[in-house]
């Protein structure tokens, strides 16, 4: 029997006009009863839908709070990411500083090693020269002893000792021998004096060389000490640079771990609320379907084409699995995105009844229209809404304006097509694809 909805009431149209005579009161009563039954059924469905909407409104408030938490988490993630980038930006400089310190340390250690070797050689030269001087002193003392003995013997013999030795000769042969002996002793004495003078000169030169070697050894020691101090300083700088690099690496690791924890918390919170929202959305869809049946909406699943919600624009991102631009992980993108300037009018894709109009968590300002048979169309992130829940709308009617409310990166329309709460690719209703399920 055809049914017409008018002023919120459902009345039976056919059959009443044909009733006449005495049967008319009975027919009128039957028609009235039918009408009252439909009205009562619609009222029950409406009350059920209102209860579900009231329950969902509470969840929407929680989603709104969760949205603020998501934004706070995003801020923490951005902060942690900046720390990671800062640490990574400082790592090259710290590594360069470490490499320079290590090179300086290696150079200083090599120079210190050479200086130590030179110092050891200088000390060895000093020791050798001191030993030589000791030997010269001993030889000089021996020569001085020999010359002293000759001098004492000559003194004891008196000034005419040589003359007496000659005069006491008994014959010319003995005289010759005595003269030769005198000359030999004199020559030996002169040789001793010459050697003593030579050794004295050598010792003086050795003393000069010893002083020079001692000065060189002192300079080498000072140089070695300076180079050793430089090497120790370089080692300390290298150790400090190494600690700095390790600190930066640890800072980076902590920042990354913090970012991962925050991201996991965001995902867990968002998934939990999204699951609860989907559950309530299905309940609302069932209640809306009952209301649609009682309100006289068609029972098909929308096999025809729809009016495009933003004439002059086109779908940029279709439904399906994708990387969420804010949350940063792969999730189901249940609808299509159409970019347009903020404030661009949004139009209903087909006639139907508004089953939701208001804030809905990550969707921001959302309008959902029931088209019968469990088929719904949803319009998210609106800057303003022009319809209200329970209102009938016509194909092409303006229902709101493009915005960027909820979890959105910029002005655009997020549009969804659902049958029984399950997401479908909207392209199938716009003549550019099949009406297929997504994210299954």
List of domains in the chain? 1-296 (1.10.287.2610), 297-440 (2.70.70.10)
- Phi (first) and psi of residue 370, to 5 degrees: -90, 130
Give the separation between CA 27 and CA 117, rounded to whole angstroms.
128
- Phi (first) and psi of residue 331, to 5 degrees: -150, 170
Contacts of 306 (CB under 8 A, 6+ apart): 349, 350, 377, 426, 429, 430
Q: Which residue is associated with the tokens 């624009």?
A: 313
pLDDT of residue 3: 33
Reported as type and span, the H/E element at residue 9 is: strand 9-12
Structure tokens that stand for 317 in this block: 């991102």
pLDDT of residue 15: 37
pLDDT of residue 405: 93
Give the separation between CA 366 and CA 308, rounded to whole angstroms.
17
pLDDT of residue 342: 97
pLDDT of residue 6: 31
Q: Closest Cα to residue 280, out of 53, 110, 106?
A: 53
Q: What is the pTM of this model?
A: 0.46
Structure tokens that stand for 247 in this block: 């600190």
pLDDT of residue 161: 55
Give the separation between CA 74 and CA 214, rounded to whole angstroms.
73
pLDDT tens-digit readout, 126-176: 787 778 778 777 876 776 676 666 556 555 555 555 555 656 656 677 667
Give the separation between CA 356 and CA 288, rounded to whole angstroms.
10
Give the separation between CA 214 and CA 127, rounded to whole angstroms.
10
Structure tokens that stand for 120 in this block: 């050891």
The list of the chain residues with pLDDT below 70 reads: 1-47, 49-50, 52-54, 56-74, 140, 143-144, 146-171, 174-175, 177-186, 188-189, 192, 195, 199, 270, 273, 277, 280-281, 284-285, 287-304, 322-331, 433, 440
- Phi (first) and psi of residue 414, to 5 degrees: -100, 115
pLDDT of residue 145: 74
Q: Which residue is associated with the tokens 């003269």?
A: 179
pLDDT of residue 416: 92
Rg of the chain over Cα atoms, rounded to whole angstroms, equals 57
- Phi (first) and psi of residue 229, to 5 degrees: -65, -40
To 10 degrees, the CA torsion angle through 401, 405, 411, 414? -80
pLDDT of residue 125: 74
pLDDT of residue 162: 57
pLDDT of residue 247: 84
Q: Which residue is associated with the tokens 């980076």?
A: 252
Three-state SS at 340: coil
Reported as type and span, the H/E element at residue 338 is: strand 336-339
- Residue 337 β-bridge partners: 317, 414
CA atoms within 13 A on the CB side of 19: 15
């Amino acid at each position: 029997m055809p049914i017409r909805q008018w002023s919120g009431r459902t009345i039976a149209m056919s059959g009443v006009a044909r009733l006449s005579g005495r049967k008319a009161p009975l027919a009128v009563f039957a028609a009235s009863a039918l009408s009252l039954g439909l009205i009562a059924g619609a009222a029950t469905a409406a009350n059920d839908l209102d209860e579900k909407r009231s329950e969902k409104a509470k969840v929407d408030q929680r989603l709104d709070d969760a949205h603020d938490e998501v934004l706070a988490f995003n801020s923490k993630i951005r902060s942690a990411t900046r720390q990671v980038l800062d640490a990574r930006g400082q790592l090259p400089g710290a590594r360069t500083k470490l490499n320079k310190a290590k090179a300086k340390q290696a150079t200083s250690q090599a120079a210190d090693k050479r200086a130590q070797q030179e110092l050891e050689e200088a000390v060895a030269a000093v020791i050798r020269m001191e030993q030589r001087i000791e030997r010269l002193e001993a030889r000089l003392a021996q020569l001085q002893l020999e010359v002293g003995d000759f001098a004492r013997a000559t003194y004891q013999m008196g000034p005419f000792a040589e003359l007496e030795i000659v005069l006491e000769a008994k014959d010319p042969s003995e005289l010759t021998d005595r003269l030769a002996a005198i000359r030999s002793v004199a020559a030996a004495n002169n040789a001793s004096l010459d050697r003593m003078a030579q050794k004295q000169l050598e010792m003086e030169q050795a003393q000069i060389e010893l002083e020079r070697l001692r000065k060189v050894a002192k300079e080498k020691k000072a140089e070695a000490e300076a180079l050793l101090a430089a090497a120790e300083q370089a080692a300390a700088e290298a150790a400090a640079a190494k600690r700095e690099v390790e600190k930066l690496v640890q800072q980076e690791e902590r920042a990354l771990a913090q970012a991962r924890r925050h991201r996991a918390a965001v995902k867990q919170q968002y998934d939990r609320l999204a699951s609860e929202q989907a559950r309530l959305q299905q309940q609302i869809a069932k209640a809306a379907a009952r209301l649609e049946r009682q309100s006289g909406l068609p029972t098909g699943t929308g096999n025809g084409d729809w009016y495009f919600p933003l004439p002059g624009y086109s779908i940029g991102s279709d439904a399906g699995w994708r990387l969420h631009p804010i949350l940063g992980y792969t999730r189901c993108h249940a609808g299509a995105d159409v970019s347009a300037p903020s404030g661009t009018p949004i139009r209903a894709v087909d006639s139907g009844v508004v089953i939701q109009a208001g804030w809905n968590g990550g969707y921001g300002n959302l309008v959902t229209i029931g088209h019968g048979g469990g088929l719904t169309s949803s319009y998210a992130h609106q800057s303003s809404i022009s319809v209200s829940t329970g209102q009938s709308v016509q194909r092409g009617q303006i229902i709101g304006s493009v915005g960027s409310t909820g979890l959105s990166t910029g002005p655009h329309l997020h549009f969804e097509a659902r049958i029984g709460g399950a997401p479908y690719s909207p392209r199938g209703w716009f003549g550019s694809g099949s009406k297929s399920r997504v994210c299954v």
